[in-house]
Homo-oligomer: A and B are copies of this chain.
């Protein structure tokens, strides 16, 4: 009831001036890539080169996974009804939950609790499938994104303790279940973001930021390539884009390169 104004420490927006964490936004434009700006906004300080490279790798890792995953299917379904782009993107974001893209926060908590990985893994109730957020995947037995992210973190000599904790949980899962339940990209992101000092509560946001790009691309493809309100209940979609190819001659973000 009292009329004291509330406060924000993120951005100071005044007539003809917008300062992000103290920095004039126009000074940041052209100097920071988006990953650096995300780090600044969420953490309050600029990242060094190594952290910036990892943040961008995380944002690249989840940018798309084809049309059949829940977030993308929800976005394409809304697009198929002629809805505006913002409605398609919002519907896709709403499908980011514990089972899809939203395991990063839970994985971070698991890593923080995993002093004794076997005890932790044993404590997971049987009824929940016995699994831990960030481990196991519907189609990937060896998630290439998770492996690459850990490779990059190792190159940067960051998040070493958290990566070790992830490996311990993986081993404990195999001991309990008698089969490999491998680290997935959610779990790998959790380990790296913990190593960089992020709070678990904002971590699922990295998946949302990354996948929002895919949702935009799919909403547009739906509008251009399909007729309105077509049935989505049909066989899985087939990829007909560019054949497999490799990046050559692109500037690596590796600070050592």
Contacts and interface: CB of A to CB of B under 8 A. Distances in A.
A247 B7 contact: no
Number of identical protomers: 4
B208 A60 contact: no
A247 B23 contact: yes
DSSP majority for the A interface?
mixed
Interface in A236-257: 236-247, 250-254
A125 interface: no
B231 A236 contact: yes
B247 A28 contact: yes
Interface in A154-183: 155
A194 to B, nearest CB: 16
A139 interface: yes
Contacts of A238: 5-8
A63 B21 CA distance: 11
Contact of A8 (B7, B97, B237): B237
Interface residues of A, number: 139
Given A232-B232, A238-B7, A253 B31 contact: yes
A36 B29 CA distance: 15
B63 A217 contact: no
Interface in A1-16: 1, 3-16
Interface in A136-152: 138-145, 147-149, 152
